[in-house]
A and B are shown apart, each in its own frame.
Chain A
Amino acid sequence: MARRVLVLVGLLVAGCASTGQVSLGEVREFADASARLGGYAELSRRYRDTYDRESPYLSPQAERVARDTDARRRAVFDDFVAIQKTLVLYMQTLSSLAGDGRYDLSGRIDDLGSGLKAMTDSGLQQRHVAAYTGMTRLLTRVITSRYQNRSVDTMVRDGNADVQTLIDAMIVLTRIYEKANENERKTVLGLFNAEIPMANRNTDRMLVTLAKVHLQNKTAEYKLIDRRYKLAQQGLTKVALGHQKMRENMDKLSSEETRHMLAGYVHDLNLIRDALSGE
């Protein structure tokens, strides 16, 4: 009976092994890096809070308009964030689907191994057991990875168009955030640029000094945030491109070229994420 099992497993392995080893490591890393990118949520919040930062610098008339705009920004904020949440959930699930942690079957293969060891006295030689264990390991990997590969393929293929649409929306929104931030910068700093030269009486000296310090701080703040809009847009563009390339190369995920390409996107995304978190 044990020999029949061995033959059966051997045949299965022989049949399945010809499909080749599937590599999803790069897919997983790309999905992880995409889910962790960051930037967009923070910039969405900053956009939502524009009025809070601007209001001290506004005239009563301008403030009335600003309050109305503030209400409209806040009304759609959840929708802006929902886009990102959908995308992050998608990427996290793709990462799980392509991940090997979830499919770490070593414990179960050990069960299989001990089952085999129990058969060593029943006509199987030790080398058979070793080969058997090796083949079984390959078998489980092939069975699982074929299923995984199909699942990842389906997800990437079916999801690509919507992923592209959502990322495109996020990029466009980030550009609008950037424009709004630029307009805010001009509102805030512009007031000081006009008022400081007009305050040239001796009695204004302390006020002018304080105003210059405030201007310096605000200038530094806007300079710092400016870079984040560009980084966020670059990151989102990389995610969109990476997913598109993955979609186009699903049938050759194991090829060196595809793996290298995906690894390149992961590298770029990690650099962008580090730059975003390091500031």
Chain B
Amino acid sequence: MATSSHSNPDPASDDTSPTPTSATSRQQAASPLPNQPPMPEAIVTTVTPGMPPAAADRLDVDSATRANALSTMQCVVDLADSVVCIADDLHERILQEIAGYNDRTMPDAQKALMRALTDDERLLRQYAHALYADAATFVIQDLKEPQHRLMALTAEAAEKIRRIGVIGEVTGLVGGILLLVGSIARGQFSQVGAALEKIQLHNATLKTLKPDSTANT
């Protein structure tokens, strides 16, 4: 959760007494803490989902290299992080305001204001989400080419696997030939038929497995 405001005292929260009037204005409560990024309202007005400010305008995405795409992506992520940071600060302000009441019941008007502020916080977070979605889209830009190359390489490797299958068949074929030769040498003609059958079987397999002349190009 938000962590920043305890170490960065907020002028509005210096008043430790729970005086609702000290920060009852939505505008006041939403004002930035010292050393923090700009007003949430500024972000809300400049950030539109699907159109990250500045980033989209600056870049001609079609001609960007992958490095540029990643660089742009990082800019958008940084921007989204800033929006999250503002939302965190706003959240912290809301919690401080609520905590100021201790166990006393908060007036309905003040509750309504706090809820309006939490709505603002959640809206900011949705804008951050929109920016993260933009950043993620930048990541996959220019990835089609590496993917296609890798797929082609994989297909080529699959073809090689088939070829190695052929080497196996060659080995079997050699075995068949040796059996045939041995049988003939020993005069065991009864085995010649089996040996020939084996050779034919391996030969047929070889033909089936033989890679196309175009397959490996």
Contact = CB atoms under 8 A, between A and B. Distances in A.
Given A90-B150, A179-B80, A190 B91 contact: yes
Contacts of A66: 126, 129
Nearest to B135: A176
Interface stretch (A191-199, A232-240, A271-279): A191-199
B80 to A, nearest CB: 7
Contacts of B119: 59, 61-62
Contacts of A189: 1
Interface stretch (B4-12, B25-33, B158-166, B206-214): B158-166
B181 A108 contact: no
Contacts of A108: 168-169, 171-172, 175
A159 interface: yes
Interface in B129-181: 129-130, 132-137, 139-140, 143, 146-147, 149-151, 153-154, 156-158, 160-161, 163-165, 167-169, 171-172, 174-181
Given A93-B154, A140-B171, A176-B139, A186 B91 contact: yes
Given A59-B119, A108-B168, A117-B182, A76 B140 contact: yes
A263 B215 CA distance: 34
A115 interface: yes
Interface stretch (A13-21, A144-152, A244-252, A253-261): A144-152
Contacts of A65: 49, 123, 126-127, 129-130
Among A110, A115, A154, A172, max chain B CB count under 10 A is at A115
B168 A105 contact: yes
Contacts of A172: 70, 73, 139
Interface string A164-178: 011001001100100
B149 A111 contact: no
Contacts of B130: 65, 68-69, 72
Contact of A112 (B77, B115, B137, B174): B174
B171 A109 contact: yes
B70 to A, nearest CB: 7
Nearest to B66: A165
Interface stretch (B14-22, B34-42, B93-101): B93-101
B76 to A, nearest CB: 10
Contacts of B182: 2, 115-119, 122
Nearest to B162: A102
A61 B111 CA distance: 19
B140 A79 contact: yes
Identify the 9 closest CB pairs spanning chains A and B, nearest first: A115-B178, A118-B182, A111-B175, A122-B185, A112-B175, A119-B182, A115-B179, A108-B172, A162-B146
Interface of B: 1-2, 49-50, 66, 70, 73, 77, 80-81, 84, 87-88, 91, 94-95, 98-99, 101, 103, 105-106, 111, 114-115, 118-119, 121-123, 125-130, 132-137, 139-140, 143, 146-147, 149-151, 153-154, 156-158, 160-161, 163-165, 167-169, 171-172, 174-183, 185-186, 188, 191, 198
15 contacts: A69-B129, A102-B164, A103-B164, A103-B168, A108-B168, A114-B179, A122-B185, A155-B153, A166-B150, A169-B143, A186-B1, A186-B125, A187-B122, A190-B122, A193-B1
